[in-house]
Amino acid sequence: MPDEPRRHPLFMLLLLVCAVGTAPFLFIGSEPAIVFGLPIWLWSSIGFTLALSLLTAWGILRYWHDDPGPPDGGASEDAPGGAV
Amino acid sequence: MPDLTYGIFVAGGVYIAMLVVIGFLSRRARRESTLADFYLAGRTLGPFVLLLTLFATQYSGNSLSGFPGQTYREGIAYYMSVTFMVGIVTGYLLFAPRLYRAARAGGLVTPSDYLAVRFRSPVLNYLSATIFTVALLNYLLAQLMAMGHATAGLTEGRIPYWLGVIGGAAIILLYELLGGMRAVAWTDALQGAVLVGGLLLAVGLLILEIGSPAAVLRQVAAVAPQKIQSPSLPLCLLWLSNFLLLFLGAPLYPQAIQRIYAARSLHDLRKAMATMALLPHVAITTVVFIGVAGIALFPVADGFNADQITFKVLAYLVDHQPLAYVPVIVIMIAVVAAIMSTADSCLLSLSSILTKDFIGRARGLDGADELWLARIAPLSSISIMLLVTAVAVRPLSSLWGLLVIKFEILIQLSPAFVFGTLHDPDDPGGYRSRDVLAGLIVGLTIALALYGTGQRQLYGVHAGVVGVAANYATCWLSHRLRGARAVPEPVA
């Protein structure tokens, strides 16, 4: 059965949370406290951006696949094979 | 500062020779005289070439000189560029899986081919092809102009602007005519490798010369503390608006869609896409770092434009690092490579749209006439390049002003692809062309009206994003209302 990432609501919700989280709304007007050399709001944006990209890559490998191949069990060229 | 011109001429000459050799090699690899072979490399691109061609196409000259310039102006809040470059890959998740399947099943060549198969509306076909053309013409024009400025700047005027434009256009046209998409993808692979190598070299040299990112930020905090301030509410809204604009708009670039069509297999496409989602953390973080280093080194833009900060930083490195001469030349060639790799992909996509969507459909040609279309494909490329080069040599500011709105209009095609790929063409519950057209007209009208009245942003939100919100709402409402009317009366 073909699958695609947008068929998975929880996955899409997580993407949305990460995307909105990248913009540092929570730190508006605060003093730029420095942690390990970077402002804390930048750490927050980096964390959400990293989560967004890892989730996107994971979703592509996990949820995007076509028909698994012929019924004899052999995998077609497009089969996910060892999909993560 | 040591004279870089000689080194740039030598490295540039070697680079151009390699592009031409790749063009000839790709010509020998051509298998048949079809549109799919010329425009999609016969759908044979493997994961490595696919990744590098996606990378080189998506990262234009603007990424290497414009993003550091923006960082220099706005401070580290321009880290938002890493976010929106990741967002482009996330945006593909909305429609690419079904699009890839449709391309394989229907032998699609252009993005409008998909809309033709899905919605069967000539009006939508021509409207979408026109929108794609306007967006691409802008992009190609911008790249040719950037090439003219880059060659003039790098050679300190020894190669004038007009010669840079014409020379660059001629080289791109040559290898593209020789090998079509195969030549473009292979040269993109070279350009992508130069780009990645150049960026990593730049960061390495900067860390050697002025210290780690934390040390550079300490210097920025001392000389320009406002550049590390927490972003304000309007800036946070702009951050999200930029994300939405790229998330919905950039995956619709025809050259990006055609790389989905050109993949050898879904397995290869997924590998390339998954890697693309991670690349901005290396590539864009690097260019943001160049901008931040620029703030530390040149706190005041004294007698130079912020967009020249990359070259200012490189010149500083050459002055202070004896080892920097060769790496800096590689980085400078990488800037030209980034421009060329975007320009060649734009040209190829424009050519395919002119050939297939306009000429092919206007003449009512079907599959049997593909040979004729494949024969005129090179003529399409030549015509487009002649036209855009002529404009680039003497740009008209009024025309330029009109074309700058590419994203604002391109993004309006998003519902057609996102809603279109929800259902099969024959599904009676699916979206119809009238839904999509209604949304498209509302979205375009709002975006252009806002833009035309000088309101490019409303509270930090781009005019195109406001338009596409109305577009999605209209499209959905039209679909729902039609569905409600179509419900049969219950039988007693």
Question: Which of the residues B267, B289, B295, B465 would you substitute to probe the A interface, choosing the one with the greatest number of A C-beta atoms within 10 Å?
Answer: B267
Q: What is the CATH number of the domain that holds B73?
A: 1.20.1730.10
Instruction: Out of B16-20, B56-60, B181-185, pick the least confident.
Output: B56-60
Nearest CA in chain A to B99: A4
Determine, yes or no, domain membership for B175.
yes
Determine, yes or no, domain membership for B414.
no
Q: Which of these, B335, B342, B318, B326, lies nearest to B10 by C-alpha position?
A: B326
Contact assessment for residue B472 and residue B452, using Cβ atoms and an 8 Å cutoff = no
Residue scoring higher pLDDT (B351 or B364):
B351
Q: What is the pLDDT of residue B399?
A: 46
Q: Residue B437 corresponds to which tokens in the numbers above? A: 């057209």
Determine, yes or no, domain membership for B441.
no
Q: What is the mean pLDDT of residues B62-84?
A: 88
Residue B469 pLDDT > 90: yes
pLDDT band at B324 (very low <50, low <70, confident <90, very high): confident
pLDDT band at B401 (very low <50, low <70, confident <90, very high): low
| Averaged confidence pLDDT in chain B | 88
**Contacts across the A-B interface (CB distance below 8 Å):** 134
Report d(CA B456, CA B55) in Å as an integer.
29
Q: What is the pLDDT of residue B8?
A: 85
Determine, yes or no, domain membership for B371.
yes
Contacts of B230 in chain A (CB under 8 A): 24, 27-32, 39, 41
Determine, yes or no, domain membership for B474.
no
Kindly determine whether residue B231 and residue A23, on different chains, have CB atoms separated by under 8 Å. Answer: yes
Nearest CA in chain A to B282: A50
State which residues form the domain around B45. Answer: 5-397
Kindly determine whether residue B239 and residue A23, on different chains, have CB atoms separated by under 8 Å. Answer: yes
Name the strand (E) or helix (H) holding B473. Answer: helix B463-485
Residues of chain A numbered 57-76 and touching chain B (CB < 8 Å): 57-61, 64-66
Q: What is the pLDDT of residue B241?
A: 92
Residues of chain A numbered 24-43 and touching chain B (CB < 8 Å): 24-25, 27-32, 34, 36-39, 41-42
Q: What is the mean pLDDT of residues B51-59?
A: 86
Q: What is the pLDDT of residue B424?
A: 87
pLDDT band at B372 (very low <50, low <70, confident <90, very high): confident
Q: What is the pLDDT of residue B445?
A: 96
pLDDT band at B83 (very low <50, low <70, confident <90, very high): very high
Q: What is the pLDDT of residue B205?
A: 87
Determine, yes or no, domain membership for B423.
no
pLDDT band at A31 (very low <50, low <70, confident <90, very high): confident
Nearest C-alpha of chain A: how many angstroms from B267? 5
Residue B306 pLDDT > 90: no
3-state secondary structure of B462: strand
Q: What is the pLDDT of residue A71?
A: 46
* Count of domains observed in chain B: 1
Residue B264 pLDDT > 70: yes
Helix (H), strand (E), coil (C) string for chain B:
CCCCHHHHHHHHHHHHHHHHHHHHHHHHHCCCCCHHHHHHHHHCECHHHHHHHHHHHHCCHHHHHHHHHHHHHHCHHHHHHHHHHHHHHHHHCCCHHHHHHHHHHHCCCCHHHHHHHHHCCHHHHHHHHHHHHHHHHHHHHHHHHHHHHHHHHHCCCCCCHHHHHHHHHHHHHHHHHHHHHHHHHHHHHHHHHHHHHHHHHHHHHHHHHHCCHHHHHHHHHHHCHHHHCCCCHHHHHHHHHHHHHHHHHHHHCHHHHHHHHHECCHHHHHHHHHHHHHCHHHHHHHHHHHHHHHHHHCCCCCCCCHHHHHHHHHHHHHHHCHHHHHHHHHHHHHHHHHHHHHHHHHHHHHHHHHHHHHHHHHCCCCHHHHHHHHHHHHHHHHHHHHHHHHHHHCCCHHHHHHHCCHHHHHHHHHHHHHHHCCCCCCCCCCCCHHHHHHHHHHHHHHHHHHHHCCCCEECCEEHHHHHHHHHHHHHHHHHHHHHHHCCCCCCC
Q: Residue B151 corresponds to which tokens in the numbers above? A: 């060659």
Q: What is the mean pLDDT of residues B243-266?
A: 94
Report d(CA B165, CA B363) in Å as an integer.
34
Determine, yes or no, domain membership for B415.
no
Residue B270 pLDDT > 90: yes
Residue B331 pLDDT > 70: yes
Instruction: Out of B16-20, B188-192, B288-292, pick the least confident.
Output: B188-192
Determine, yes or no, domain membership for B408.
no
Instruction: Out of B57-66, B315-324, B373-382, pick the least confident.
Output: B57-66
Contacts of B277 in chain A (CB under 8 A): 53-54, 56-57, 60
Q: pLDDT tens, B201-235?
A: 888 888 988 888 888 988 998 898 889 888 899 99
Q: What is the mean pLDDT of residues B71-77?
A: 91
**Amino acid identity, position B56:** A
